[in-house]
């Protein structure tokens, strides 16, 4: 684990890895407005996260399994689908509890992992796999220091992640609930950054 004095520019430091990134009300990008993002990786080389509060109505989980020719249909279990972000949105990523991992899974921390292989979908379809998960199409990505600069410009807040915010289906309240975990009322937030 990194020390509290670690800087985000240190490529070995998982600065916001495993945390939530919460959009400030002034964030102008409509794809990320009022976004709640789970940070899967954040180092000096860049950052990657999954947007949690943009549900995807189509395709359904069953339709996706059919397209990927994954049996059984109907599946023994289902997970929800969401728009994970604007980058590589034809690719699927399963954010899930770390009680199950497969080859190629990125273990984010002791609680959560990210898997981009079909193995996790096959396991879920047959009734196994991780205890909880969601399938995101695409992700949110930043280049070196890009996220750090956005945070300096007051575009984002960060806070702790919990399973309710990660995996529940109350998408319309997720942004406000993430702010409430920080004891912040969105009506009182300012877009002006203060720096000492």
- Each residue of 35-66: pLDDT tens digit? 999 999 999 999 999 999 999 989 999 999 99
Residue with tokens 């520019």: 9
pTM higher than the cut 0.95: no
Q: Residue 153 and residue 43: Cα distance in Å, rounded? A: 19
Q: Provide the percentage of residues in the chain whose pLDDT is more than 90.
A: 84
Topology (CATH) of 19-183: VC0467-like (3.40.1740)
For residue 5, count other CB atoms closer than 10 A to its CB.
6
Kindly list the domain boundaries of the chain, sorted by start residue. Answer: 19-183
Q: For 170-194, how does the pLDDT look when each residue is reduced to its tens digit (9 = 90+)?
A: 999 999 999 999 999 887 775 555 5
CA dist 16 and 6 (Å) reads: 11
């Amino acid at each position: 684990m990194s020390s509290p004095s670690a800087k985000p520019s240190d490529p070995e430091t998982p600065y916001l890895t495993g945390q939530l990134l919460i959009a400030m009300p002034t964030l102008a990008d409509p794809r990320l407005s009022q976004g709640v993002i789970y940070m899967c990786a954040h180092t000096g080389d860049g950052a990657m996260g999954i947007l949690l509060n943009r549900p995807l109505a189509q395709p359904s989980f069953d339709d996706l399994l059919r397209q990927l020719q994954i049996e059984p249909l109907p599946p023994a279990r289902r997970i929800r689908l969401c728009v994970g972000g604007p980058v590589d949105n034809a690719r699927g990523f399963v954010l899930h509890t770390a009680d199950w991992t497969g080859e190629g899974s990125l273990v984010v921390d002791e609680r959560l992992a990210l898997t981009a292989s079909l193995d996790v979908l096959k396991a879920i379809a047959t009734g196994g796999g991780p205890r909880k998960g969601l399938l995101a199409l695409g992700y949110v990505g930043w280049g070196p220091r890009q996220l750090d600069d956005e945070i300096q410009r007051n575009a984002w807040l960060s806070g702790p992640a919990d399973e309710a915010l990660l995996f529940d289906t109350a998408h319309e309240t997720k942004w406000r609930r993430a702010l409430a975990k920080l004891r912040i009322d969105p009506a009182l937030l300012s877009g002006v950054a203060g720096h000492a």
